Amino acid sequence: MSLTLLVENNPKIVEIYQLNLKTYVGLDVLVVKGLKEASLVVDKQPFALIICRAKIGNDEVAVPLSEVMASKQINIPLFVIGHGLYPSLVHGVLPGSLDLKGVVKGAASALGVTAQSMVNMKVEDYFPIPAEHFKWINYPICPILRKSDKGEMEVIFKANEMLDRSKIQGSSLLFVDKLDRLQMVNQITAELVGRLEDKDLNPDEQIQAGVSNLEMLSKKLLSIGINEETIGLAKKGMDSFAGNVKRYPKLGNLLQRMLSNKAGYLYRHTQIVTYVALHIVRNIDWGTPEQEEKIAFISFFHDIALENDTQAKICSKEELRSAQFDPREKAVVEKHAQVAAEIVHKYPHAPMGSDQIIRQHHGMLNGVGFSDHFGANLSPMAIVFIVAEEFTRIIIAKENGPFNGRDMTRELRQTFTTSRFQKIIDLLEQITF
């Protein structure tokens, strides 16, 4: 097994890397906290790769470490993560530490491991995972097994069953079916990412964490529903989206930030809808702090039942018909408004009427399917949301610019011709451009 030296001081990120590098690339990892410790061990073991932070706290790490390596004539690939100075001789760099695909790919390529050999990596029928990682999990996504004293595998937790930690005390290793291993590792990773605090992350990493948290919440709401855990995650998520709106008072800056980060469509869509809708409510004559809270709530939850970016891009009957979905996925897209409304209906103290607006956000009263026109009896808030969502679609379609405000609102005016909609578009025009 190739031994990798990891220089990182955040214990949760350490755990994430150890687990992912082991599972995807088969690497064993030795961890040190900083430059001093790294310089002491770098020539003591046959490392095949060094992964290090560009900077830890205020101290540059990668550049001085590369100088130590040069002085000791150590020639090992160095992979640098995070913002800071990069040495001239590196195998690769990655600005955001939570781009795990990038970390796995970078480590693999430094070691000459191909994607094919990762796929073909020999795995036992039951995949071992150190028991300590399960302290982050409340409801495992797949069955968890333990090896009995006689050496037989026994299931100790079923999928989605509350994980009672007292049952795993004394076990150092737990197991999952080899076919479940990537799912399980991804779940543990998502849980760890969800517990990282913004202050520990650079702006790139905050977006990556936001994407991961939204995906995790969506999966949990659909599997375990509303409980203390999912409510906590939802609050954190809503705070983060609304916080970004405050932090980036100009739409252009917010877009720039997400573009440079390659955040996925569904995340960007949710963030930009929140931005546009909040912007309208803040400037409309009936806007109040309660209405702002309500529109942010609706924006956050409306597409929560969707599973991926491809599904999120569908917004008409025709697009759904021509999409290459199997029947299950087609049903997910068709019913996503209804499912999200049901979830929100159970959410304690949800703003009044938000479930109804979510159910009707594609123009169908029952939340199933897509309609080309919106009924006359819509509430003012529903109209704001529908306009915000369509405007978001136009923005994302043109996200590389150039932005021509008049063209964009002209498109909106052609879609929504009634005067109630036109009034909102007038307002949007005044405040955006």
Helix axes 336-346, 289-301, angle to 10 degrees: 130
Closest CB 302 distance from Fe ion, rounded Å: 5
**Segment near Fe ion (CB under 5 A), from 5-13, 67-75, 160-168, 303-311?**
303-311
**Segment near Fe ion (CB under 5 A), from 33-41, 90-98, 295-303, 403-411?**
295-303
Integer Cα distance of 392 and 274 in angstroms:
9
CB-wise, 200 or 399, nearer to Fe ion? 399
CB-wise, 14 or 333, nearer to Fe ion? 333
**Segment near Fe ion (CB under 5 A), from 84-92, 117-125, 202-210, 296-304?**
296-304
Query: Residue 379 to residues 307, 375, 383: CA-CA distances in angstroms?
Result: 28, 10, 6
Residues 254-273 that bind Fe ion (CB under 5 A): none
**Segment near Fe ion (CB under 5 A), from 116-124, 214-222, 302-310, 403-411?**
302-310
> What backbone torsions phi and psi does residue 357 show, to the nearest 5 degrees?
-65, -40
CB-wise, 146 or 302, nearer to Fe ion? 302
Closest CB 11 distance from Fe ion, rounded Å: 37
Closest CB 7 distance from Fe ion, rounded Å: 41
Using CB under 5 A, count the residues that bind Fe ion: 1
Of 133, 107, 141, 131, give the one whose Cα is nearest residue 215.
Answer: 141
DSSP-assigned beta bridge partners for residue 174: 129
CB-wise, 53 or 359, nearer to Fe ion? 359
Quote the tokens at residue 336: 């996503």
Closest CB 386 distance from Fe ion, rounded Å: 10
CB-wise, 93 or 332, nearer to Fe ion? 332
Cα radius of gyration rounded to whole Å, the chain: 24
Of 304, 302, 283, 305, give the one whose Cα is nearest residue 292.
Answer: 283
Q: If phi over 0 gives left and psi between -120 and 50 gives alpha, with beta otherwise, what is residue 164? A: beta
Integer Cα distance of 378 and 177 in angstroms:
50
* Residues 248/225, Cβ–Cβ less than 8 Å: no
Closest CB 312 distance from Fe ion, rounded Å: 7
Of 430, 408, 415, 139, give the one whose Cα is nearest residue 279.
Answer: 430
CB-wise, 157 or 385, nearer to Fe ion? 385
In the set 8, 191, 215, 303, which binds Fe ion (CB under 5 A)? 303
**Segment near Fe ion (CB under 5 A), from 11-19, 112-120, 297-305, 317-325?**
297-305
Closest CB 161 distance from Fe ion, rounded Å: 31
CB-wise, 191 or 303, nearer to Fe ion? 303
Residue nearest to Fe ion (CB): 303
CB-wise, 90 or 341, nearer to Fe ion? 341
Quote the tokens at residue 48: 């095949």
Closest CB 336 distance from Fe ion, rounded Å: 6
Our finding on whether 334 is near Fe ion (CB under 5 A) is: no
Question: Which of the 8 DSSP states describes residue 172?
Answer: S
Closest CB 333 distance from Fe ion, rounded Å: 9
Integer Cα distance of 315 and 68 in angstroms:
56
Integer Cα distance of 302 and 336 in angstroms:
8
Query: Residue 28 to residues 95, 107, 108: CA-CA distances in angstroms?
Result: 23, 12, 13
Question: Residue with structure tokens 């990412």?
Answer: 193
Closest CB 278 distance from Fe ion, rounded Å: 15
Closest CB 422 distance from Fe ion, rounded Å: 22
**Segment near Fe ion (CB under 5 A), from 12-20, 41-49, 260-268, 299-307?**
299-307
CB-wise, 131 or 273, nearer to Fe ion? 273
CB-wise, 99 or 303, nearer to Fe ion? 303
Quote the tokens at residue 236: 């954190």
Query: Residue 247 to residues 241, 242, 275, 287, 299: CA-CA distances in angstroms?
Result: 10, 9, 11, 21, 18
Catalog residues that contact Fe ion under the rule CB under 5 A.
303
